[in-house]
A and B are shown apart, each in its own frame.
Chain A
């Protein structure tokens, strides 16, 4: 709302976040310029001042062009860059960039397809004591674990404040992005150089002391094999322009579900524990000390220095009085990683018969996950499956009416999976918090009782846990101690014996073990077992015994930051790294963009103050400089705005922690129709690959067979439906708004393939064929890439076989290839063919797809009965 310019890319904010989008509309009413960059003209583009059509998969090329523009024209906010980023830091001599190695960085191993990052480090940095095997890092999505605490770097680095040293980050950045010229942007993304330069000017003109630009992205960026690097490029731009930590600036990551931020904070991910503590690995973290030091990085400055307190307090929350100093607080009870336990590996393990049982909670992978056939065949090979949902979703009924029943690959009478459907309570039938995309926790009260046997997830797991504990009560096996010793006594209420969500939130907040007193924040956590805390970043949500997440002070009764509506983590800070909204001396960069500042007259010796909770130690003077070698929070200088990073600086260049490189590089998607115009290296060399006959990938250039799938396709959402459709295609009022699966094509593609408006057509990849009715629209247009027109096709992914309105599932088209850092699937871009008419039905559809595979030079594969 306070932005002077809003850049929306990799996002369809108006359609996917309509309520949040009102603030973009408000910004526009106040004079902000709104720019939308997207392969397709959407309802977001309709409101934007400028729409920039861009090829799906071209984001690093485009943004790299912006970086090059900033550096070549000296548009960076120099004082900010010098003070708050690692631009001046010198990198080790042995580093080789993609400029030197035609698209690769130094340290690449062709066999394992992985990098040794030793040559990427800062100059003078000792190699990490716990240098993890890089392949294990990729398998366990270690970079995701590192997230906000940054992997190890030394507190003291070598810097050249003149930014001239050939190996300083600033110069490396310049060289790396020098080939991302406006001409290359036009050639590789289809964006005209005039329009590209217009965006560059808008972005840079609206940055600096007096103005800020906000960058907004969502899953249009994340769901790529280079997704993390897309975001990195955006971060580089926002750091160079001094937009991070400033009002109306920053990067707004729009999450894909109402509370999915909460389900990474208190995670449902295999490699994370609450508060982004990493799940321990069986080899690398044998002891409690090994584990804690892996993320505490002794010797490093910053708040992760106190991570032992966070970790021990979590263990105390899990095992209560059975977690003591003597047994390392129950560390032995924590599960251990042995490799890739990601959801896609799990599916392939199911197909291979390695997984017996599966709990599916509010998720519909038969429709919502990539490679639908693999999802369904995997579930068909389980012994048992528990589905908890509001409706009979496709993932509960695949065994009797899914697409594989039609093809004969699943025979209902012989399918071995026993499916238990446990009806769930909806969000109005239970109390609890949502954590939305801005880290804001909002408590909701229960409005009515759930009908019949519907129960909340809290009820389900609490009672399941009780029963399992009862079953194991007399066991003498060592492996059962972990469950036996779990602290599981929550107060319950009502006829249904519902556990108290408030009690859980209090535990998440943390309390003093001896007295039960709720803690006020993570600074009160101790490593000696005297505190328990379910999620250290949420500590403070129940400060003073008050449910802070339940506050609803109206906007007109408080400041424009509205700190009394709900509670944001950490410690109710609404903008992270807001120290950067003031200059190194602690004065706002401008009155217009004042946010937090140093008041030397406040308190005893001065305090940070302002409109928001300062994201900095309240009494730390901007002039404070630590003794060399000081670690932990005390090691942060008064101008180290990025307090969670090991060197206190925003990272333009990432010396360690990412699998695929310290700098973003344009790679083509795994399935592409063109050769990489920038480098010899076609696609992300380190991306996660599952090379199996049931997971073929369409060929890309230079393979001539790539012509079999000549079009680019992408998928996204409609406002009217919700993800896999379980909560929308079951309702008449939503179903009538978008009543059928459809496929959007440009008039040019329609002419080329003989497609008619509202006529049937089908889309084919090497995995599947799906059909829908055609919508011919000018909102899609062919783009000129490398001198030839490239057609793009768009499909919504909401449809499946169950509900009031049904249709084929778009995600069946995708295979599985993942970003190596976080293991997310590439489901925003692929290649395909489009043909007029309905698709073949039953076994004929298998033969049809097999024929495409044959022509594409892929193994034909066979269907199999389950």
Chain B
């Protein structure tokens, strides 16, 4: 267990200073019932007024969006897999989104305070504060947050902060026809997800597993976690994401030590005197 709030289990909103914060809200995306309709992508763009991402046939199965980026905050991945033992072929579909990490590296490194933690435990970037420095981009272990080429600012999913404060669900969860995207208090979602995995295992779907639900993982658990039917890499997700700021205290200590050692060496060089 660390003695800082950069790593390990944590309730992020109180840690950020909120008094009487509401329950932490999150997404549980059950990819086993995703039908790849992309209503989530469209609803998100409609609500947030996000520009289109260009008309490019990518040839990545039915995925012509490619990945999460500044102009795509919900991205549906399609993976066609031969599965010789079962039905010869399997088509995995999954709607990816910003993970709203417990320990959010993007938030940690933002110099302007554009990125902040909301009372719901989510991470939001304020477009009128962001100065486009780009530090958050390489910080994210998932490669989610991104800069727009034309205006230079960083953009990502807000978990519809402007909806959930009014008792609505985020646009993607509202649009999803099969409730693959579920929104609610994170504790409840985690419990529901455990039951769902057990039910799938009982029907013989042994590859079903949760991803990002564990508060002991490298980012302290995700505010948006998933049920996957294969290894995370298959979906383009990092298998063991670690918040890139985890080692900051250690790094600063080491840097400090190195500086001291450097200083000591300099002193030693002059103390010896001339012969």
Do the two shown chains form a genuine complex with each other? yes
What is the interface of chain A, defined by CB distance below 8 A to chain B?
14-15, 18-19, 21-22, 25, 29, 41, 43-47, 50-51, 718-720, 732-740, 742, 757-758, 773, 775, 777-779, 781, 804-805
Closest Cβ–Cβ distance, residue B214 to chain A (whole Å): 25
Please tell me if B135 contacts chain A, counting CB pairs below 8 Å. Answer: no
Beyond A43-B35, A734-B42, whether A758 also contacts B52 by CB under 8 A is no
Q: Which residue of A lies closest to B57 (CB)?
A: A740
Q: Which residue of B lies closest to A737 (CB)?
A: B38
Q: Which residue of A lies closest to B63 (CB)?
A: A737
Give the docked Cα–Cα distance between A387 and B42 (Å).
29
* B35 adjacent to A14 (CB under 8 Å): yes
Closest Cβ–Cβ distance, residue B40 to chain A (whole Å): 11
* A777 adjacent to B61 (CB under 8 Å): yes
Please tell me if B90 contacts chain A, counting CB pairs below 8 Å. Answer: yes
Q: Which residue of A lies closest to B93 (CB)?
A: A46
Note all chain B residues with C-beta closer than 8 A to A775. 59, 61
A selection of 27 A-B contacts at a CB cut-off of 8 Å is A14-B37, A15-B35, A18-B35, A18-B39, A19-B177, A21-B178, A22-B179, A25-B33, A29-B33, A46-B35, A46-B90, A46-B91, A51-B88, A719-B35, A719-B38, A720-B38, A733-B42, A735-B52, A736-B64, A736-B65, A738-B62, A739-B56, A739-B57, A758-B57, A775-B59, A777-B61, A778-B82
Note all chain B residues with C-beta closer than 8 A to A44. 35
* A740 adjacent to B61 (CB under 8 Å): no
Give the docked Cα–Cα distance between A738 and B87 (Å).
27
Give the docked Cα–Cα distance between A736 and B64 (Å).
7
Q: Which residue of B lies closest to A777 (CB)?
A: B80
* B35 adjacent to A736 (CB under 8 Å): no
Q: Which residue of B lies closest to A734 (CB)?
A: B42
* B37 adjacent to A733 (CB under 8 Å): no
* B64 adjacent to A739 (CB under 8 Å): yes
Please tell me if B252 contacts chain A, counting CB pairs below 8 Å. Answer: no
Q: Among B33, B41, B57, B87, point to the contact of A773 (Cβ < 8 A).
A: B57
Closest Cβ–Cβ distance, residue B123 to chain A (whole Å): 25
* B35 adjacent to A737 (CB under 8 Å): no
Q: Which residue of A lies closest to B90 (CB)?
A: A46
* A805 adjacent to B33 (CB under 8 Å): no
Q: Among A21, A718, A720, point to the contact of B35 (Cβ < 8 A).
A: A21
Note all chain A residues with C-beta closer than 8 A to B42. 733-734, 737
Beyond A46-B35, A720-B38, A737-B41, whether A41 also contacts B89 by CB under 8 A is yes
Give the docked Cα–Cα distance between A50 and B61 (Å).
21
Give the docked Cα–Cα distance between A824 and B179 (Å).
36
Please tell me if B55 contacts chain A, counting CB pairs below 8 Å. Answer: yes
Note all chain A residues with C-beta closer than 8 A to B57. 739-740, 742, 758, 773
Closest Cβ–Cβ distance, residue B167 to chain A (whole Å): 16
Closest Cβ–Cβ distance, residue A196 to chain B (whole Å): 15
* A18 adjacent to B37 (CB under 8 Å): yes
Closest Cβ–Cβ distance, residue A697 to chain B (whole Å): 32
* A50 adjacent to B64 (CB under 8 Å): no
* A51 adjacent to B87 (CB under 8 Å): yes
Beyond A732-B52, A733-B46, A805-B55, whether A45 also contacts B62 by CB under 8 A is no
Q: Among B52, B54, B65, B80, point to the contact of A779 (Cβ < 8 A).
A: B80
Q: Which residue of B lies closest to A47 (CB)?
A: B35
Beyond A719-B36, A740-B57, whether A778 also contacts B89 by CB under 8 A is yes
Q: Which 8 A-B pairs have the closest CB atoms?
A: A739-B55, A46-B91, A732-B52, A740-B57, A18-B37, A14-B35, A758-B59, A19-B177
Note all chain B residues with C-beta closer than 8 A to A737. 38, 41-42, 64-65
Q: Among B64, B91, B92, point to the contact of A45 (Cβ < 8 A).
A: B91
Please tell me if B53 contacts chain A, counting CB pairs below 8 Å. Answer: yes
Q: Which residue of B lies closest to A28 (CB)?
A: B33
Q: Among A19, A732, A757, A779, point to the contact of B91 (Cβ < 8 A).
A: A779
Note all chain A residues with C-beta closer than 8 A to B179. 22
Note all chain A residues with C-beta closer than 8 A to B93. 43, 46
Please tell me if B24 contacts chain A, counting CB pairs below 8 Å. Answer: no
* B55 adjacent to A804 (CB under 8 Å): yes
Note all chain B residues with C-beta closer than 8 A to A45. 91
* A46 adjacent to B65 (CB under 8 Å): no
Note all chain B residues with C-beta closer than 8 A to A41. 89, 91
Interface digits, B41-73 against A, CB 8 Å rule (1 contact, 0 not)? 110011000001111110101101100000000
Closest Cβ–Cβ distance, residue A17 to chain B (whole Å): 9
* A18 adjacent to B177 (CB under 8 Å): yes
Give the docked Cα–Cα distance between A775 and B92 (Å).
17
Note all chain B residues with C-beta closer than 8 A to A29. 33
Closest Cβ–Cβ distance, residue B132 to chain A (whole Å): 24
Note all chain B residues with C-beta closer than 8 A to A733. 41-42, 45-46, 52
Give the docked Cα–Cα distance between A758 and B58 (Å).
8
Give the docked Cα–Cα distance between A47 and B93 (Å).
10
Note all chain B residues with C-beta closer than 8 A to A804. 55
Q: Which residue of B lies closest to A36 (CB)?
A: B87
Give the docked Cα–Cα distance between A809 and B45 (Å).
28
Closest Cβ–Cβ distance, residue A44 to chain B (whole Å): 8
Give the docked Cα–Cα distance between A230 and B73 (Å).
44
Note all chain B residues with C-beta closer than 8 A to A719. 35-38
Give the docked Cα–Cα distance between A733 and B72 (Å).
11
Closest Cβ–Cβ distance, residue A649 to chain B (whole Å): 38
List 13 additional A-B contacts (Cβ < 8 Å) besides A51-B88, A719-B37.
A21-B178, A25-B33, A25-B35, A25-B178, A47-B35, A51-B87, A737-B65, A738-B64, A739-B55, A777-B61, A777-B80, A778-B89, A804-B55
Closest Cβ–Cβ distance, residue A60 to chain B (whole Å): 24
Q: Which residue of B lies closest to A26 (CB)?
A: B178
Q: Which residue of B lies closest to A719 (CB)?
A: B37
Closest Cβ–Cβ distance, residue A2 to chain B (whole Å): 18
CB interface residues, B 137-191, toward A, < 8 Å: 177-179
Give the docked Cα–Cα distance between A738 and B80 (Å).
17
* B54 adjacent to A46 (CB under 8 Å): no
The residue in B35, B37, B53, B55 that gathers the most chain A C-beta atoms within 10 A of its C-beta is B35
Closest Cβ–Cβ distance, residue B90 to chain A (whole Å): 7
Closest Cβ–Cβ distance, residue B117 to chain A (whole Å): 30
Q: Which residue of B lies closest to A758 (CB)?
A: B59
Q: Which residue of A lies closest to B76 (CB)?
A: A737
Note all chain A residues with C-beta closer than 8 A to B91. 41, 43, 45-46, 779
Closest Cβ–Cβ distance, residue B244 to chain A (whole Å): 31
Note all chain A residues with C-beta closer than 8 A to B41. 733, 737
Closest Cβ–Cβ distance, residue B16 to chain A (whole Å): 34
Give the docked Cα–Cα distance between A41 and B93 (Å).
14
Q: Which residue of B lies closest to A773 (CB)?
A: B57
Q: Which residue of A lies closest to B56 (CB)?
A: A739
Give the docked Cα–Cα distance between A46 and B54 (Å).
28
* B90 adjacent to A735 (CB under 8 Å): no
Note all chain B residues with C-beta closer than 8 A to A740. 55, 57
* B53 adjacent to A736 (CB under 8 Å): yes
Note all chain B residues with C-beta closer than 8 A to A758. 57, 59
Note all chain A residues with C-beta closer than 8 A to B80. 777-779
Give the docked Cα–Cα distance between A733 and B92 (Å).
23
Beyond A45-B91, A46-B93, whether A757 also contacts B59 by CB under 8 A is yes
Give the docked Cα–Cα distance between A739 and B39 (Å).
16
Closest Cβ–Cβ distance, residue A726 to chain B (whole Å): 17
* A21 adjacent to B38 (CB under 8 Å): no
Note all chain A residues with C-beta closer than 8 A to B54. 736
Closest Cβ–Cβ distance, residue B89 to chain A (whole Å): 5
Give the docked Cα–Cα distance between A778 and B80 (Å).
8
Closest Cβ–Cβ distance, residue B95 to chain A (whole Å): 13
Closest Cβ–Cβ distance, residue B227 to chain A (whole Å): 13
Closest Cβ–Cβ distance, residue A619 to chain B (whole Å): 41
Note all chain A residues with C-beta closer than 8 A to B38. 719-720, 737
Note all chain B residues with C-beta closer than 8 A to A720. 38
Q: Among A22, A46, A773, A777, point to the contact of B177 (Cβ < 8 A).
A: A22
Give the docked Cα–Cα distance between A714 and B61 (Å).
19
Give the docked Cα–Cα distance between A43 and B89 (Å).
12
Q: Which residue of A lies closest to B36 (CB)?
A: A43
Note all chain B residues with C-beta closer than 8 A to A736. 52-56, 64-65
Q: Which residue of B lies closest to A41 (CB)?
A: B89
Note all chain A residues with C-beta closer than 8 A to B62. 43, 718, 738
